[in-house]
Structure 1
Amino acid sequence: MSNIKFLLWVLMVFNQTFAVSRDSDAPTVCKINQGSLNYPSPSIADGYTYQLLTDQLNRPRNLIFDTDGNLLVSGDPDGIFVLRIREVGHGCVMYDGKTLLEGTSGLNLNHGLALSRDGRTLFASSANIAYSWKYDPTTPSIDNSSRRNVVTGMDSDGHTTRTLLTSKLYSDVLLVSRGSNGNLDMDAKHLPKGKCMIKAFSHSKTEEQDFATQGNLLGWGLRNSVGIGEDSRGGIWAVENSADNLIRERINIHQNNPAEELNFLGPLKETAFREGYVAPNYGYPYCFAAWNPKDITPATYAIGVGDQFALVMNNSFTDSTCRDKFQAPRLSFQAHVAPLDIKFHPQTGHAWISFHGSWNRDAPVGYSLSVVEFQGSEPKAPKNSTNSAMNIMWNGNIAGCPSKCFRPVGIAFDSAGRVWVTSDSTGEIYIITPPQSSLSELPLSNGTRDTNSASNFSRRHSGAAPLIHGGVSLTKIIVGVAVICALLLGGRVPML
């Protein structure tokens, strides 16, 4: 009888010792290179691995880490959610539930999310307003009494996301991107209308600022620059979603034109902080970048990939006008891949870009997380490149796109150099671990790298899973089972 009581006591201690708090949303087993069961698992480049953290979110868009390692996620109509992240060994990551950040509901927040450089001010956006709150990462919580309207006057139909970016180099800068009202928005040609542009605002000002009439202009003629990123030198880059259903000279060119764009808006110290700076116009709604130049006929000059062409020409406005008067992109991408975020890896310096995927093309394209390699402050690829973006994670089977496939949006990096990415249509967050070599090679002091990583990319699928279950290691489980078996067999186990 005493042995039975002792056995029950051991079982109770074993259960309490190795029990972990569980969240109904969190997967009980950390599986590598295996997605949800709702669609075929995404493919991953050779040497990389991924873990599905969760598939239970509501249209997650942007995500950021606070200074305490909590993960904040935008996109849910109910507001901003916080996920408490923990490592459970063997590279496995789990989270202990998600919590609504009280005070963010009821504001129609939809996309934009940022933290100040010191991590103590939170910014989020609706279609009309960019808000700020005092933020405490230790709780985590916001001070509702501190809520301010930082930027207002942005409401419109069509593109309603207002992307936000705070500078890592300058403490009082909030960048805001506002897109077009519809596919071709003629208001964009009038600067005072405040459409299709990226501006820099001082977020320390106590009074609200009007988007159209205040702030410092970085660039305009940008149809819908959803993704904005800052490189390590303070240079601002934006990825552009260009127009759909284009017809030029009565010819439908929309399958492969216009190109999506990577645009350089310059370093903040030479643009937003320079008195009298005149921001460049990138052409919209007059001019667009070519992806398939053969479709752009007749042309008034030899148009190549990434060169500007006019949608409508007359005696005073031609393709040559677009080339000479407007700013061309630094790189171009396949039409309709829909880039939604760009972030620079803190260790390699390369640009990671999420391509949300097409709807305006017969053969779907995009639906991938990709890398554009940088050398110093410039992309390695020439301006007319057609293969500058290398796929890291993508859908090998796109039959279920757009609703049932990996459809990336927001990108964030953790302190270990891993890449976190949301998939809005499937409610997911993935964690991508790069090869160790890619985390140790860059950046050098001059930003150089003598390697050709393009040859290393190939499809990799693996169902391997580390032996982790809810944070309990295999060793602990074996020890516990051994203790119980010894007792059941009448053996004696010394107390430790």
Structure 2
Amino acid sequence: MTGKILLAAAALALMSGCGREEEVDQYGATPTLPEANRGLLPSMTIADPAGWGDRRPVVPSGYQIAAIATDLKIPRQSLVLPNGDILVAEGKGGGDAPVMRPKDMIAGFIKKKGTSSVKGGDRLTLLRDADGDGVYEGRTVFAEKLNAPYGLALIGNRLFVANQDALVYFDYQPGQTRADRAPVLLTKLPAEINHHWTKALAASADGRFLYVGIGSNSNIGERGMAVEEERAMVWEVDVETGASRRFATGLRNPTALAVQPGIGELWAVVNERDELGANLVPDYLTSVRQGAFYGWPYAYWGNNPDRRVQPFKEEMVSKTVRPDYSLGSHTAPLGLAFSTAAMGGPFAEGAFVGMHGSWNREVQVGYKVVFVPFRGGRPAGKPVDVVTGFQADGKTFGRPVGVTVDPRGALIVADDLSNTLWRVTPSSPSAARPAPANL
């Protein structure tokens, strides 16, 4: 297909959603779910990348934001090490997924326009702030020649990395700036086709297990269910033996995992299915229960059936567990981190979520970091904008991915469009004031 034909088809795709989008309330435990709206082509509006220039992301009053690393090579997730160093996983994965339908080619062509042109680093970069002034003057490559690294976790003296095809680890000593040997394989991960290639990672509270998020190989099973074996789920991996088992299933694309401090419960943010309309299906934040089935591909948000997948299994609809908290349709959450008391009053209990931003709707959503307030260990209330300003005047300057909380009270945000790592901190003691009324 020539470039002109592709552009013409893209224009048709954009026109297909015109006049059909309405704003609906989709945040929280009971989102509004409209009727499915299936068109010939999905609505599309893609980010138009631009440099930050003199701009910066916007943070709430009483907080400040600074770029602590620039010119990275597709930063995805980060990890704060015990001595305060920050590790950044850089990479761009994906397999050679065959194009199933003409609209897949159109969508792929358009979506690529909204991403960085930089080649993924396939490495871990270490940042160090030696004097604690918030300026990370030290920067070294901790490990390289990896395969699209994404999830990171530290258990004792072992640093675990979830590549797109394998879970590996390095020996690590506090203060170490570079791995002293090649990574050791713990277990292989599903990598055939790799339509959703990211492998999220979290360690259990007792350090015995690792949890790995593995996305589906399609939107809604259009490649056949045989290629979905061991996908769209969270694995539990034994740290000592590498033995794995299915922990929870039916999670279309669990892009970030985190264990809730003090409780030890596993949580995930999940990217749901596309092509049912601008307001279906809500992406979500949820606790991940052992043995639970969350619906993909047969149902969404509880017992709402999706009969596009064939053969359809009616019995799976009634087995579907409803997620805890809707984050809105097509917001594309890719980052998750629980807050600490050091973050200040407004953000003392809850979870930060990095939203990469939509493509499958006319009016763009996401493109920000939000805070979901918790009470009694559960989500409570509407999300609060924490880092915004990634879009303005029809341009997109950045796209948030991973979020990490530094125990000292900083929020670290990976931006894989501008290839920047941002750091949000209180600008004065007054930032630790009581939470706003809407919390």
Q: Counterpart in 2 of 1:176? A: 212
Compared CA separation, residues 363 and 322, structure 1 to 2 (3 A): farther
| CA deviation vs aligned residue, 1:59-117 (integer Å, no higher than 9, x gap) | 1111112122211100142411111114465xxx212242111xx3223233122211x
Gaps of 5+ in 2: 1-49, 92-120, 342-347
Q: Counterpart in 2 of 1:429? A: 421
Q: Counterpart in 1 of 2:305? A: 310
Q: Counterpart in 2 of 1:68? A: 83
| CA deviation vs aligned residue, 1:438-464 (integer Å, no higher than 9, x gap) | 7587xxxxxxxxx54437xxxxxxxxx
In structure 1, distance between residues paired with 2:433 and 2:208 = 32
CA drift at 1:130: 0.8
In structure 2, what residue type is equivalent to 1:52?
A
Is 1:81 aligned to 2:155, yes or no? no
In structure 2, what residue type is equivalent to 1:454?
N
Equivalent position to 1:412, from 397, 404, 408: 404
Is 1:96 aligned to 2:137, yes or no? yes
Equivalent position to 1:122, from 156, 159, 166: 159
Q: Counterpart in 2 of 1:228? A: 257
In structure 2, distance between residues paired with 1:438 and 1:374 = 19
Equivalent position to 1:141, from 167, 172, 178: 178
Equivalent position to 2:384, from 374, 385, 390: 390
| CA deviation vs aligned residue, 1:330-371 (integer Å, no higher than 9, x gap) | 111221100011111122231110001011111111000000
- SS of 2:175 mapped into structure 1: coil
In structure 2, distance between residues paired with 1:222 and 1:242 = 8
Compared CA separation, residues 257 and 436, structure 1 to 2 (3 A): farther
CA drift at 1:410: 1.3
CA drift at 1:396: 6.5
CA-atom RMSD in angstroms: 2.9
In structure 2, distance between residues paired with 1:44 and 1:67 = 26
| Aligned residues of 2:140 and 2:177 also touching (Cα < 8 A) | no
| Aligned residues of 2:52 and 2:397 also touching (Cα < 8 A) | no
Is 1:201 aligned to 2:237, yes or no? yes
Q: Counterpart in 1 of 2:17? A: none
CA drift at 1:186: 6.2
| Aligned residues of 1:188 and 1:194 also touching (Cα < 8 A) | no
Is 1:359 aligned to 2:359, yes or no? yes
For 1:326-337, list aligned pairs within 5 A. Answer: 326-337=320-331
In structure 2, what residue type is equivalent to 1:429?
L
Is 1:244 aligned to 2:274, yes or no? yes
* Greater C-alpha radius of gyration: 1
| Aligned residues of 1:227 and 1:239 also touching (Cα < 8 A) | yes
For 1:17-96, list aligned pairs within 5 A. Answer: 37-38=52-53, 40-76=55-91, 77-87=121-131, 89=133, 93-96=134-137
Q: Counterpart in 2 of 1:304? A: none
Bigger Cα displacement from structure 2, 45-54 vs 432-441: 432-441
In structure 1, distance between residues paired with 2:264 and 2:67 = 32
In structure 1, what residue type is equivalent to 2:300?
F
| Aligned residues of 1:417 and 1:439 also touching (Cα < 8 A) | no
| Aligned residues of 1:231 and 1:349 also touching (Cα < 8 A) | no
- SS of 1:324 mapped into structure 2: helix
CA drift at 1:392: 0.8
In structure 1, distance between residues paired with 2:229 and 2:312 = 23
CA drift at 1:40: 3.9
| Aligned residues of 2:270 and 2:333 also touching (Cα < 8 A) | yes
In structure 2, distance between residues paired with 1:219 and 1:186 = 22
For 1:155-304, list aligned pairs within 5 A. Answer: 155-157=191-193, 158-167=195-204, 169-185=205-221, 193-205=229-241, 209=242, 214-232=243-261, 233-246=263-276, 254-266=277-289, 271=290, 279-289=291-301
For 1:439-458, list aligned pairs within 5 A. Answer: 439=432, 451-454=435-438
Gaps of 5+ in 1: 1-34, 247-253, 272-278, 290-306, 382-387, 442-450, 456-496
In structure 1, what residue type is equivalent to 2:74?
R
In structure 1, what residue type is equivalent to 2:176?
T
Equivalent position to 2:334, from 333, 336, 340: 340
CA drift at 1:244: 1.6
- SS of 1:141 mapped into structure 2: coil
In structure 2, distance between residues paired with 1:87 and 1:363 = 44
Per chain length, whose mean CA-contact separation is higher, i.e. which structure has more relative contact order (CA < 8 Å, sep 6+)?
Answer: 2
CA drift at 1:318: 9.8
| CA deviation vs aligned residue, 1:188-217 (integer Å, no higher than 9, x gap) | 967992111101111122xxx4xxxx5232
Compared CA separation, residues 425 and 397, structure 1 to 2 (3 A): closer
In structure 2, distance between residues paired with 1:229 and 1:88 = 26
Kindly, what percent of the aligned residue pairs are identical? 25
| Aligned residues of 2:216 and 2:228 also touching (Cα < 8 A) | no
| Aligned residues of 1:187 and 1:193 also touching (Cα < 8 A) | no
In structure 2, distance between residues paired with 1:364 and 1:39 = 24
Compared CA separation, residues 188 and 419, structure 1 to 2 (3 A): farther
Q: Counterpart in 2 of 1:468? A: none
CA drift at 1:36: 7.2
In structure 2, distance between residues paired with 1:108 and 1:45 = 37
In structure 2, distance between residues paired with 1:181 and 1:405 = 29
Q: How many residues align?
A: 351
| CA deviation vs aligned residue, 1:282-318 (integer Å, no higher than 9, x gap) | 01011123xxxxxxxxxxxxxxxxx54112289x979
In structure 2, distance between residues paired with 1:397 and 1:70 = 30
Q: Provide TM-score, normalisation by structure 2.
A: 0.73
Compared CA separation, residues 195 and 313, structure 1 to 2 (3 A): closer
In structure 1, distance between residues paired with 2:367 and 2:303 = 26
In structure 2, distance between residues paired with 1:410 and 1:107 = 18
In structure 2, distance between residues paired with 1:87 and 1:361 = 46
| Aligned residues of 2:78 and 2:403 also touching (Cα < 8 A) | yes
Compared CA separation, residues 94 and 243, structure 1 to 2 (3 A): same
In structure 1, what residue type is equivalent to 2:355?
F
